[in-house]
Structure formats: C-alpha cells, structure tokens
Amino acid sequence: MSIKIGGNENYGCYINNEVDGVCICNHLNLNCIIGHGRWSFDTEWSRRNEHGIYLYRDPYNIDSIALADDVSQIHQVENATQYDRSQRSIVLNLGQVALLKNIYGFWAAVKVVEIKDKEFRSDRDKFVFQYKIQTRTYHGPGALPYSFGPNAFPPTVKKDDNENKDNVQKENREILEDGSEAYPPKKQAVYQGDLGEENQL
C-alpha cells in the first residue's frame, strides 16, 4: 500500500517501493513514486472527473507513456512497444491500462481501479491504481522484456533448489553497458491490502 510522504490539501505525494503493488491515495492531483532504483517511476496524475484521470509524461525519469487501449488487464499486455507513445498526457478511465517507460529502459503498467471525486457527487477524493514493473532488460532466449504476460516474469525459487536458482538468475540477468551483469535486488515487504478478487492483476 502506498505511503503519503508530503503535499497539502490540494496535492499529494505518495510512494510504494514494491515492483508489483497498489497505490491508494486521497488526492486526485498527485505524484506517486512506484518501484525503486532503476525500476523507479514517478507517476504524475491530475483530476478529470469521477470516470477518468490524467496521466503525464512530465516527471524527470519518465521517457514516455501510452494507453493500452486494447486490453483490460495488465497481464494481457504482450508488447508494450506497440502503443502510441507520442503524447505528453493521456486520459485513463476506470479499468483502463497505461504503460510507462523510464529513462533506464524499464517498463511499468498501471491500471485505474477506483476514482472518487468530491467535485462529482462523492464525499471525498480517492484514487486507487494497481501496477506492475517489468524488471527485465535481457533480450536473450526466452526473455520477454516488453511483455506483462504470465510467462514474462521469473518463476518462484525455492531456497533449497540451488540449481534452479542459478538458472533463474542467469535467465534474468541484466547486461550493463560495461558488459557486467546485475541482478534485481530483493523486493521490500510492503503491505498492499486486499482489493478483492475482481481487482487482481
């Protein structure tokens, strides 16, 4: 679940350092930082109405944004590069999915889950979105760096399965510019809450 780290009555700043999580905010004009390190995305939003919200490309670490207008779930995105990324801002309606690319070449997918707007018949402002960050940049056999489908992410590794762990690490290695390899850090435990079965990715 996201944590508020600043702002005022009209603008909020939030953070969730997981690479797969939920942001629950009590502002509609806000910035929410998702992920961490090279997998960090500063997402900037502003009020539209009770059915939709604006998403912007303006933050320093965002290279581009796009509306995935042919899917309704994050896991249905098979190729993030196929969508129009020419816009500075997009309208994201309830249930829609958007894609963000950061300046390090990584991708995030976000889905709007809930909007409450006190200017449109609600008693308070509330904004909830789910997200998933693709931590792969390796383009070798079996890698799917532009996909958010079930086969695009590494399997769970058992502690006593050293051989499988080595294979997974090799499969998910990140090749840096100097030719060295880096592995994604362990996720930090952040409680994400329970959105119910209908809102799962």
What backbone phi and psi angles, to 5 degrees, belong to 154? -65, 145
Res 5: pLDDT: 84
Give long-range contacts, CB 8 A cutoff, 24+ apart: 55-58: 55/89, 55/90, 55/91, 55/92, 55/98, 55/110, 56/88, 56/89, 57/87, 57/88, 57/89, 58/88
Res 28: pLDDT: 92
Helix (H) or strand (E) holding 163: helix 162-171
**C-alpha separations of 128 from 25, 33, 113 in Å:** 6, 14, 5
Flag whether the pTM goes above 0.85. no
Res 182: pLDDT: 46
Of the candidates 53, 59, 49, the residue with the CA atom closest to the CA atom of residue 23: 53
In contact, 59 and 40? CB cutoff 8 Å: no
Res 150: pLDDT: 75
Instruction: Give the separation between CA 57 and CA 86, rounded to whole angstroms.
Output: 10
Q: Three-class SS of residue 74? A: helix
Of the candidates 48, 189, 195, 27, the residue with the CA atom closest to the CA atom of residue 111: 195
Instruction: Give the separation between CA 163 and CA 1, rounded to whole angstroms.
Output: 34
Please list the residues that pair with 131 across neighbouring strands: 21, 110
Domains of the chain, by residue range, sit at: 3-136+187-194
Q: Token match 């042919």: residue?
A: 70
The pLDDT averaged over each successive group of 10 residues in the chain (201 residues) is 82 93 93 95 95 97 97 94 96 97 95 93 92 78 72 52 45 46 42 42 47
Res 139: pLDDT: 58
Please list the residues that pair with 182 across neighbouring strands: 174
* Helix count and strand count (H, E) for the chain: 1, 13
